[in-house]
Structure 1
Amino acid sequence: MIVRRILKTLSFPITVVTLGASLLGLFAGTALATPPNDNFAAPTVITALPFSDSVDNTTATTEPGEPQPCASSPQTVWYSFTPTADALVRADMAGSSFFDTALNAYQAVGPGFGGLNFLGCSTFSANPITFRVHAGATYYLQTGSVFTGGGDLHVNLQVIPPPTNDDFSKATPFNELPFSDTVNTADASLQVGEPTPSCAPSTLGGTVWYAFTPTA
């Protein structure tokens, strides 16, 4: 009788330990689940514009060597887009559940992170970034949150008509003074290799061009 009671006493904690291990395994599996586009090598592919997507980035991660050009984001997800025609596009994170958004745009000019050419960024707001894309080239959007832990992340990408003098080659000409003109630069872009004047901030927004040829 004494032996039987001892065995019953020992069997209870053994059962509890087994159940606890199962629960821990379940919780650990949930914690390790990451978004399908967590890594640069497995981006969500954008096949047509306009495009909108939402994903929970609370379990997203960053990879070794991942670029952080404008703000450090520990929880990023990736999108890629290869247009079939030249266009001016606008990307934003409007609709995200957190305010500390981080959005970076790149053009792939080579393999891996080292082959990304930075095009522009937007942080801590839903403000859009505008950039020009070329048919056959591949572009990447790196999206995330800076420090709040993430949440419901939204990404939007669409084609927009640029100002007529958005490109250097299409500068608005004038040859008489005084001269006055008004252009909405919200949809203006930066061309690859466009110079940054020494008097400008480190990162330019969209630009438009004018060409002045005096007659006297």
Structure 2
Amino acid sequence: MKRTFIATVAAALATALLPGVALAADPPANDDFGNATTITALPFSAKISTVGATKSTDDPTACHYWGESTVWTRYTAQEDGFLRVSSSGGPAIGVYTGDRGALALVPGACTYNTGSSADVFAVKAGTTYHFALIESYAWNGREFTFDLTTIPAAVNDNRASATVTGFPSTLEGDLRRASSEPDELTASCGPGADKSVWYRYTPDRTRSVQVSRSGSAVLSVHRTADLSEVDCAGTSDYYGLVFTATAGESYLIRAAQDVEQAGQFELNLVNAPAIKPSAYATPDRPSVFDDVQFSPYAGDPLNRALVSGEIQFGDGATTPFTGTQAVGHRYAKDGNYTVRVTGTTMDGRTGTTEQVLEVATHDVKLTGLSLPASARAGDTKRIKVSVANTRYDENVRVSLKRKTTSGYYEEIGYLTQRVAASPTGKVEFPFAYTYTAADAAAGQVEFKLVAELNRWEYDDAQPADNELVAVTAVHAAARTPANAQIS
């Protein structure tokens, strides 16, 4: 009997000492929601362990659905305000209110969603807050420091206590420490952003101001006198606020977000960049036959659109425009024209640029087409056409095409010649064509002659007069009598 007992103890001890075999740790005292560690006074700081922690079937999952183990603490707020909770790099923290089985996650109070081990949230006096310390994996139990402390509201939480700022300036804040006032203003570009902080700016001279940001705050600027909104930048507006600040007039800058998105941010008040308005000309190499369409744009690094402006075309004509509305203009003669574009954005910035537009009319014309009215198969006949040109010396390519039985034109020859500009002169382009039995079977040949400028820089200004079409009737070849004498 004694030997058997000793052998059993030895076997158990050997098993416990085997590599890779661990004894299960007892769960922490606050493993279950009902045994949560109660915090009675703040600030509070203590070592807490999740080693051996488990997950109850009724543990809430709103903060971390896949968490495998939790331990709990709780605190009843003594006054309205803000708390900062931290696990010092330990497990995720979810803050809940309510009773077991019906716990509700405090909006914005879940560090698992932020990737941080600390959070700040608002509390109400008399409300009990339950802190779930959640490990993603039960085997990752560890000891960590849990801290809970009160933290003051932002000094500029209320509009009446807006922080006065100079220019330029960099401003930092944390919207988790902000609240919503009973008469809270809303931003037109983010009406749901109700936790806000405020800054006051009064310029010493009139200037265009940009307020850029890091973080996801909704920004708006208001006139202090009547609280009217001057500009608004939602979370998707990368460039922030832009407005003209008038010397001596006071402005309120509001940074806000809803409770779920509230976090830290940084604002930068700087001079807004100048705009360089211009206009796209279509076509960009016009002739006197073109109605040129000028499409204005702001040339703004902040991507704001023009609201108004004017275009001076360089020939004495001027046209106003609204927004990005295209305006048309036709030039009476060739030349280089300095086009001057002036534009204004909604935020009040105005700029002017100049660009040179070349108007050059390159226009040749086919004329004097000559070809036989009829021919027989086997005949070779001349076809000729002339090119008239009154503007610029041009290299002209004339193509001779024949219509096929399938209905399209195939090129059967071409000729390129220099055509000098002349008020009355013409240059002849001669061709020769041998009519075929297939032409005779069809009864006719339809020819098309096409003139093109042999240069890539310009197209012909009036292509409609660059084509001529004519038809030659074709008959079968004449028969030679059997007894005919050929000399």
Q: TM-score, normalised by structure 2?
A: 0.32
CA–CA separation in structure 2 for the residues paired with 1:79 and 1:62: 15
Q: Counting helix residues as a fraction of each chain, which structure ranks higher?
A: 1
The superposition leaves residues 58-98 of structure 1 with CA deviations (integer Å, 9 ceiling, x where unpaired) of 211110121121322212110110122112111121253xx
| Structure 2 counterpart of 1:204 | 261
Question: How many residue pairs were aligned?
Answer: 174
Q: Confirm or deny that 1:171 pairs with 2:184.
A: yes
CA–CA separation in structure 2 for the residues paired with 1:65 and 1:93: 23
Once the two structures are superposed, the pairs formed by residues 22-61 of structure 1 within 5 Å of their partners are 31-61=24-54
- Comparing 127-136 with 83-92, greater Cα deviation is found at 127-136
Q: Confirm or deny that 1:113 pairs with 2:105.
A: no
SS of residue paired to 1:38? coil
TM-aligned CA deviation for residue 113 of structure 1: 2.5
State which structure, 1 or 2, has the greater radius of gyration over its C-alpha atoms: 2
**Amino acid across the alignment from 2:86:** D
Once the two structures are superposed, the pairs formed by residues 22-171 of structure 1 within 5 Å of their partners are 31-71=24-64, 72-96=66-90, 101-108=91-98, 111-114=99-102, 116-119=103-106, 120-123=109-112, 125-147=115-137, 149-163=140-154, 164-165=157-158, 166-169=179-182, 171=184
TM-aligned CA deviation for residue 14 of structure 1: 4.0
Gap change, CA 1:11 and 1:128, over 3 Å in 2: closer
SS of residue paired to 2:8? helix
SS of residue paired to 1:162? coil
- 8 Å CA contact retained: 1:131, 1:189: no
**Amino acid across the alignment from 1:16:** A
TM-aligned CA deviation for residue 162 of structure 1: 1.9
The superposition leaves residues 116-171 of structure 1 with CA deviations (integer Å, 9 ceiling, x where unpaired) of 22112002744422222122211110012213612123321111122314224263
Q: Counting strand residues as a fraction of each chain, which structure ranks higher?
A: 2
- 8 Å CA contact retained: 1:93, 1:126: no
SS of residue paired to 1:67? coil
Gap change, CA 1:172 and 1:89, over 3 Å in 2: farther
Gap change, CA 1:149 and 1:137, over 3 Å in 2: same
CA–CA separation in structure 2 for the residues paired with 1:69 and 1:204: 16
SS of residue paired to 1:53? strand
CA–CA separation in structure 2 for the residues paired with 1:189 and 1:43: 30
SS of residue paired to 2:120? strand
Q: TM-score, normalised by structure 1?
A: 0.66
Aligned-residue RMSD, C-alpha: 3.3
CA–CA separation in structure 2 for the residues paired with 1:182 and 1:152: 42
- 8 Å CA contact retained: 1:39, 1:78: yes
- 8 Å CA contact retained: 1:87, 1:134: yes
CA–CA separation in structure 2 for the residues paired with 1:161 and 1:170: 21
Q: Confirm or deny that 1:181 pairs with 2:169.
A: no
Identity %: 24
Gap change, CA 1:177 and 1:134, over 3 Å in 2: closer
SS of residue paired to 1:36? coil
SS of residue paired to 1:16? helix
- 8 Å CA contact retained: 1:102, 1:145: yes
- 8 Å CA contact retained: 1:189, 1:206: no
